[in-house]
Structure 1
Amino acid sequence: MYDMFDPHQHTIKHPTSCCGIGLHSGRTANLTIKPAPVDNGIRFFRTDLGDNISVKAHMDKVIDTRLATTIGEKGAVVATTEHLLAALRSSDIDNVDIEIDSSEVPIMDGSAEPFIKLLKSAGKTRQEGLRKLLRITRPITYSDRDTTIVVTPYNGFKVTGEISFDDALIKTQTYTIDFDPERFCREIARARTFGYVEQVEELWANGLALGGTLENVIAIHWNRTSVLNEDGLRYQDEFIRHKVLDLVGDLTLLGCPLLGHVSAYKAGHSQHLGFMEAIADAPDCWELIELEKNGCHAVIDRKTAMTRTSDALVMPFFRGRHSDALPAAC
């Protein structure tokens, strides 16, 4: 049933590094991804702030969702995490430590592809620890104004995204991917972030998007029928493909892979966070499973999984959440 998932956790074989500019800060960032032990998860270390100043890549560490997903804890902030997280998820990597000497992950070319290439160069190592999955058992719906995100039971990980714009270039675009690392690399990973050229100019005037150029952002022309980038679009529907990329990256903050079909209409980073919180607040609609070596699975003790404040909590993303939160519709 779960043949698409290796039952074992994975990390990288060797450290790997890159250097680039932060999209919004405009600052140079040196980033190194290192192997990490079983159940470590993904952690960011701000090396410019001193030893062991780290932030876990979990939804309860999100401090800002304007323009990008920013996580932080005790003064350590890491912005624009979504493209790197999407690369880790699509590369089937569970445990890494990421050292960075700035407050923002490099934007690279505006997609996840450079990070995927970086991870491939580092290699992958299977670990002894078994992988845990969050399996959706009943539909969960999250709504925010004109945004709707729904997850339904599915024996795999499928994502459907839909956007709707008034301009002639984008219009309404829909894309569905039944998650597979190779398919993600082929169809989604190269899709770049985008914006209207006048919005970019406004961001510049307000001290944002200082690292944004035509090398890392698709700039939609004032006429709304073309882009300013000389090489044009990488896909005809690159805009919705990048939205799917962002969603996959943000969902990595759940703390483990999701089994379900996620359908998102006109969603952005803020709604992705609200959706993850809706999942956490609907424990009757999901169960935690741990894969066995033969590919089968066993249900983890539901009572333990649903005790959010317990020290024996299996899922780290529930830590620090309010136990009296109202459940989402499911």
Structure 2
Amino acid sequence: MSMPSPQFYQETSYHPTVCHSEMAQTLQSTLGGTVSCSGVGVHSGQPVSLTLRPGKVDSGYIFVRTDVTSNSKIAGRYDHVVDTQLCTKLANAEGFSISTVEHVLAALAGAHITNAIIEVNGPEVPIMDGSSAVFSQLIEKAGIQPQNTVVRGIKILKPVRVTVGQSYAEFVPCEDRLVTMTFDGHGRLKKLAAKKEMTFDWDHDDFNDLLADARTFGFYDDAQKLLAMGLAKGASLENTVVIQDENTVMNPEGLRSSDELVRHKILDAVGDLALAGVRIQGHFRGVNSGHALNNQLLRALFNTPDAWC
């Protein structure tokens, strides 16, 4: 599903409202060293390696396709998202793309790292175990280096919502940075979605403890359709929770926690919202929201300049 690419808010001609109330100021940060991992692409099934490197102040998240000789940089920004059908996919003006960026971005944003270079030697980030755990472990190994520049931020002033059918995503004013997800599998889950709502406090909860190990998931019937389309070639019970019916998980170890599914939906949202390029003070609320709605919400927010300052 292709999407239009509106200008990033910093490049627009209008000037956002200046906040009259003080916002919490924190310093930008990057990795303390260089770390790497290898795995497979969940859709291609091909081996792929990823390296995380320190980034410069104000650079944000920059993906680099090391298998491409020129025009290899892809900015990790909401307006560079070109597909959200099965994951979040970014592309640059020359058409080079990188897929499944949400889990590594969630790990970086969850660790409050604002600037990083993510090198990948293929068109998609390795899926690893389907969660952010390996990426979070790499960040812990590298350490975090504060940078002597304040994080750029915005504050939500009025609600902004996008809706598709019975699902929606919205920002509402809040003094904290909260991510709340309500998830029931669009009516396809019963016992597996026993805990249907959860809130992550971005500034006070520990991402590693609460979200990092929650794996991606899908339905067995859907997986068969994807395989027939030539997709999900790298998906397996080692990196995906597969749901066979309303209440049955095919993975022999079962779920890692009773609320793993809604925790992963929040993990995805954290990764998608990291593409805003700024720290958002406000409350994100999603009802069965996925990558498409998450991205559409960011576009709607930055196209509504009186909704933030």
Which residue, 280, 296, 304 being the options, matches 2:302? 280
**Matched residue SS, 2:183:** strand
Which residue, 193, 218, 243 being the options, matches 1:195? 218
What are the superposed Cα offsets for residues 78-135 of structure 1, whole Å, 9 maximum, x if unpaired?
0000001100100111111111110000001001111011111011111112111121
Q: Show the counterpart of 2:168.
A: 148
Residue 104 (structure 1) aligned with residue 124 (structure 2): yes
Q: Show the counterpart of 2:100.
A: 80
Correspondence 1:151-190 to 2 at 5 A:
151-164=171-184, 165-171=187-193, 173-180=196-203, 182-190=205-213
Aligned-residue Cα RMSD (Å) equals 1.7
Q: After TM superposition, give the deviation of residue 183 of structure 1 in Å.
A: 2.4
Residue 253 (structure 1) aligned with residue 275 (structure 2): yes
Q: Show the counterpart of 2:239.
A: 216
- The separation in 1 between residues aligned to 2:22 and 2:87, in whole angstroms, is 32
Q: Show the counterpart of 1:41.
A: 60
- The separation in 2 between residues aligned to 1:97 and 1:239, in whole angstroms, is 29
Matched letter for residue 209 of structure 1: A
Matched letter for residue 217 of structure 1: T
Which residue, 254, 263, 266 being the options, matches 2:288? 266
- The separation in 2 between residues aligned to 1:259 and 1:84, in whole angstroms, is 22
Matched letter for residue 65 of structure 2: R
Contact 2:106 / 2:270 at 8 angstroms: preserved in 1? Answer: yes
Matched letter for residue 27 of structure 2: H
Matched letter for residue 190 of structure 1: D
Q: After TM superposition, give the deviation of residue 226 of structure 1 in Å.
A: 1.7
- The separation in 2 between residues aligned to 1:182 and 1:136, in whole angstroms, is 21
CA change 1:6–1:17 in 2 (3 A) is farther
Q: Percent identity?
A: 36
- The separation in 2 between residues aligned to 1:171 and 1:41, in whole angstroms, is 35
Matched letter for residue 73 of structure 2: S
Q: Show the counterpart of 1:30.
A: 49
Q: Which runs of 4+ in 1 moved over 4 A?
A: none
TM-score normalised by structure 1 residue count:
0.83
**Matched residue SS, 1:148:** strand
Aligned length: 285
- The separation in 2 between residues aligned to 1:190 and 1:6, in whole angstroms, is 29
Q: Show the counterpart of 1:21.
A: 40
- The separation in 1 between residues aligned to 2:204 and 2:223, in whole angstroms, is 32
Residue 225 (structure 1) aligned with residue 260 (structure 2): no
Matched letter for residue 196 of structure 1: F
Q: Show the counterpart of 1:53.
A: 72
Contact 2:152 / 2:278 at 8 angstroms: preserved in 1? Answer: yes
Q: After TM superposition, give the deviation of residue 184 of structure 1 in Å.
A: 2.0
Q: Show the counterpart of 2:10.
A: none
Matched letter for residue 35 of structure 1: P
What are the superposed Cα offsets for residues 12-65 of structure 1, whole Å, 9 maximum, x if unpaired?
111111111111111111111111111111101111011451100001111110
CA change 1:12–1:228 in 2 (3 A) is same
Q: Show the counterpart of 1:114.
A: 134
Q: Show the counterpart of 1:11.
A: 30
Contact 2:193 / 2:262 at 8 angstroms: preserved in 1? Answer: no
TM-score normalised by structure 2 residue count:
0.88
**Matched residue SS, 1:49:** coil
- The separation in 1 between residues aligned to 2:220 and 2:147, in whole angstroms, is 46
Contact 2:65 / 2:122 at 8 angstroms: preserved in 1? Answer: yes
